Amino acid sequence: VEQVKLLDRFSTSNKSLTGTLYLTATHLLFIDSHQKETWILHHHIASVEKLALTTSGCPLVIQCKNFRIVHFIVPRERDCHDIYNSLLQLSKQAKYEDLYAFSYNPKQNDSERLQGWQLIDLAEEYKRMGVPNPHWQLSDANREYKICETYPRELYVPRIASKPIIVGSSKFRSKGRFPVLSYYHQEKEAAICRCSQPLSGFSARCLEDEHLLQAISKANPVNRYMYVVDTRPKLNAMANRAAGKGYENEDNYSNIRFQFVGIENIHVMRSSLQKLLEVNGTKGLSVNDFYSGLENSGWLRHIKAVMDAAIFLAKAIMVENASVLVHCSDGWDRTSQVCSLGSLLLDSYYRTIKGFMVLIEKDWISFGHKFSERCGHLDGDPKEVSPVFTQFLECVWHLTEQFPQAFEFNEAFLLQIHEHIHSCQFGNFLGNCQKEREELKLKEKTYSLWPFLLDDLKKYLNPLYSSKSQRFTVLEPNTVSFNFKFWRNMYHQFDRTLHPRQSVFNIIMNMNEQNKQLEKDIQDLESKIKQCKNKQSDGVLTKELLHSVHPESSALKTSLCLKEQTLLPVNDALRTIEGSNPADNRYCDYTEEFSKAEPGVVSLEYGVARMTC
């Protein structure tokens, strides 16, 4: 479709770019008059809306799951209607097999694909944590997904917990998700375990479950009591009792300390994000509306709640040496958030690029966070969609802001992962649990995201990362309210006008690299000078010396070239500034006022005149 206009989301003067809109099998493509291309993956489209016809054409608003919002104006209504209908069909698939991942072909052969899938090996990861050991062992109870369909095949449990105990406990837990090991802290010999809520109702008990919990606390030789953390608000947990579910009764379990941490459920989170996005989408937003909107959405309050819960975990292990069992209702949303963040605080390995991938594979993918339902990959129940994983990424971002040197990766890495949980381009996040993924044969039919991220490693490195610094072994973030900020680069990733005009990151990255290169040059040169001196003392002069000087001067050239290169990124930065002319910003819209100003004042004068009359 030609002659389509793309409107700037924040401009009040309706300035626009004109170009051509293309629909491909997988993408929506807009090419403007400057040949700039905007690609939008169909799977990213969250909603398409056709607005009332205007004089210039038919407006079409597309909201994406990565928070991009585009506003097209299509000159003819029929075209608009066609686009609208095709997008509706293309963005909502009914079957997994129709998703992009099954057709995406990055030109790799089967062995490369397999290697990609083997990049993250969870058995290896448990070994790194230090299990199996005298207290913990691998259980084969769920080998055939017989006990719990949403758990992985391989589960680690206390050595003294026998199979009947496990089976009994699983019957007493919602969806059969009995307590298993999520993270083992080798130094403190304490564990983070996870499960779902007990089916306790008002008075039910289960001896096997009580035994299993006791086994977990006994597996910790240092501390006899353990914490049981229910991540729900107390009220919600009480309400669940009426449905025969609920929470542990402290009297029935020996040596447990029970604690609520009050994170809201997926529905609250969904509407909170919805409110946040509504506020941000407002044109001509005032500072006060922004902050009252931020407050009313409650989004940052929820983020803080998740963070506080994770800190509780880390403290229990570091300060009290106590093991912790975490659950919510089903143990796949809030539990995943809290367990993964808790381990991130405790273990610096998870703050590396590889480690972060492992963490997501372990606590999110393998333990059955329902990615497909939460991200709405297929046309399904909209009530199951919720930004639980987005919240986790935002918590990690807040940590990177508070501890800029503690993470090997940068913000771009988080944004890229967020992009791909919705993109359906790779197999990692498809399906809702391991069993389903095996049935879909994802490892044979699709590719893994992680090797592709590693290919672009440079883009995701944090130049300030210091791996050696012992200070950062355990993070102790400060959750004072001031420390929580709106994550502009996530929710306005595609609104270029809102971003800082220059990036410090690239510059520092480049400098670091040049430093390394220059240091290498210096070493080269030094060794050559030594050679020269040796030769001089040998009395062999002239010709050979000349020879040795020549390669030197080539090295000199490289180092000088490097100096010149320093300027290059700067030029890049300048270009972005050049791009930022005042017309990009909102005050530009006052230009109209330059012409309109006088009449406005005049009418006011009339008003005053009338009042004095």
Stretch of 13-21, 240-248, 258-266, 297-305 contacting other proteins, by CB under 8 A: 297-305
Nearest distance from residue 20's CB to other proteins, in Å?
29
- CB-based contact 149:433 (threshold 8 Å): yes
Is residue 136 annotated as involved in ligand binding?
no
| 173 is known to lie in a ligand binding site | no
51 is a site residue for other proteins (CB under 8 A)? no
Q: Does 553 engage in binding with other proteins (CB under 8 A)?
A: yes
- Token pair, residue 64, equals 């994406």
State the Cα–Cα distance between residues 396 and 411, nearest whole angstrom: 9
344-to-105, 129, 199, 605 alpha-carbon distances in Å: 33, 13, 30, 63
Among 91, 169, 182, 280, binds other proteins (CB under 8 A): 280
Residue 568 makes contact with other proteins by CB under 8 A: no
- 552 near other proteins, judged by CB under 8 A: yes
Q: Which of 22, 452, 486, 494 is the binder for other proteins (CB under 8 A)?
A: 486
Smallest gap from residue 220 Cβ to other proteins (A): 31
Q: Which is nearer to other proteins, 434 or 493 (CB)?
A: 493
Rounded alpha-carbon distances, angstroms, from residue 518 to 198, 507, 510? 61, 16, 12
Contact 436, 366 (CB under 8 A): no
Which of 37, 124, 187, 598 touches other proteins (CB under 8 A)?
598
Closest approach, Cβ 258 to other proteins, in A, equals 24
Check residue 563 for interaction with other proteins (CB under 8 A).
yes
- C-alpha span between 58 and 78 (Å, rounded): 9
Query: Quick check: 581 binds other proteins (CB under 8 A)?
Result: yes
Q: Of 238-246, 268-276, 346-354, 558-566, which part binds other proteins (CB under 8 A)?
A: 558-566
State the catalytic residue, choosing from 64, 80, 148, 328: 328
3-state secondary structure of 123: helix
Per rule CB under 8 A, is residue 611 in the interface with other proteins? no
Q: Confirm or deny that 329 is annotated as ligand binding.
A: yes
Q: Is 331 annotated as a binding residue?
A: yes
Nearer to other proteins, 204 or 545 (CB): 545
| Cα 540 to Cα 599: distance, rounded to the nearest angstrom | 91
> Is 540 one of the binding residues for other proteins (CB under 8 A)?
no
Query: Which residue lies nearer to other proteins by CB, 205 or 275?
Result: 275
Nearer to other proteins, 202 or 482 (CB): 482
Q: How far is the CB of 71 from other proteins (least distance, A)?
A: 17
Write down the least CB distance from residue 319 to other proteins, Å: 18
Kindly write down the DSSP assignment for every residue of 379-434, as one continuous string. Answer: S--GGG---HHHHHHHHHHHHHHH-TTS-SB-HHHHHHHHHHHHH--SSTT-SSSH
110 assigned binding-site residue: no
Asked if 585 touches other proteins (CB under 8 A), the answer is yes
For tokens 């006052």, the residue is: 590
Residue 563, phi then psi, degrees to nearest 5: -60, -40
| Stretch near other proteins under the rule CB under 8 A, chosen from 149-157, 253-261, 390-398, 500-508 | 500-508
The SS3 call for residue 215 is: helix
Instruction: Please give the size of the binding site for other proteins, defined by CB under 8 A.
Output: 91
Instruction: Check whether 330 is labelled as a binding-site residue.
Output: yes
* Span 462-481, contacts to other proteins by CB under 8 A: 463-464, 466, 478, 480-481
Measured from the CB atom, is 82 or 401 closer to other proteins? 401
Near other proteins in 504-523, by CB under 8 A? 504, 507-508, 511-512, 514-515, 518-519, 521-522
**Measured from the CB of residue 62, what is the shortest distance to other proteins in angstroms?**
21
Q: Residue 376 has what DSSP assignment? A: T
Q: Which two tokens stand for residue 569?
A: 């990124």
Pairing, β 4-7 against β 190-195: unpaired
Task: Name the token pair of 580.
Answer: 């930022």
Rule CB under 8 A: say whether 285 interacts with other proteins: yes
Residues 301-340 that bind other proteins (CB under 8 A): 301, 304
490 near other proteins (CB under 8 A): no
Question: CA 435, CA 145: separation in Å to the nearest integer?
Answer: 7
295 binds other proteins (CB under 8 A): yes
Q: Which is nearer to other proteins, 211 or 492 (CB)?
A: 492
Residue 551 interacts with other proteins (CB under 8 A): yes or no = no
Report the DSSP beta bridge partners of residue 45. Answer: 64
Considering only the stretches 83-91, 257-265, 349-357, 596-604, report the one whose residues sit in contact with other proteins under the rule CB under 8 A. Answer: 596-604
* DSSP character string of 79-119: HHHHHHHHHHHHH-BSSGGGSGGGT---S--HHHHHHHHHS
Q: Of residues 286, 470, 539, 561, which one binds other proteins by CB under 8 A?
A: 286
CA-based nearest residue to 398, from 485, 314, 313:
485
2 binds other proteins (CB under 8 A): no
Quick one: 86 or 352, whose CB is closer to other proteins? 352
**CA–CA separation, 415 and 242 (whole Å):** 41
The whole-angstrom separation of Cα 51 and Cα 105 is: 37
List the one residue from 69, 201, 545, 565 that touches other proteins (CB under 8 A): 545
Among 502, 531, 544, 565, binds other proteins (CB under 8 A): 502
Question: Measured at the alpha carbon of residue 116, what is the angle toward residues 115 and 120, in degrees to the nearest 5?
Answer: 100
Instruction: Give the nearer residue to other proteins in terms of CB position, either 44 or 492.
Output: 492
From candidates 107, 111, 594, 613, binder to other proteins by CB under 8 A: 594
Shortest CB 385 distance to other proteins, Å: 24
- Exposed e or buried b for every residue in 399-410, given b needs 16+ CB within 10 A? bbeeeeebbbbb
Residue number, 443 or 586, with CB nearest to other proteins:
586
User: By CB under 8 A, what part of segment 388-447 binds other proteins?
Assistant: 401-406
Q: Does residue 324 contact residue 316 with C-beta atoms inside 8 Å?
A: yes
Under the binding rule (CB under 8 A), the answer on residue 94 touching other proteins is no
The pair phi, psi for residue 58, each rounded to 5°, is -105, 115
> Can you tell me the distance from the alpha carbon of 168 to that of 164, in angstroms, rounded to the nearest whole number?
6
Burial of 246 (0-12, 13-18, 19+ CB in 10 A): buried
CB nearer to other proteins: pick between 381 and 564? 564
Catalytic-residue membership of 328: yes
Find all residues with CB under 8 Å of 390, minimum gap 6, and list them: 273, 418, 490
Active site residues: 328
Residue list for the binding site: 265-266, 328-334
Residue list for the binding site for substrate: 265-266, 328-334
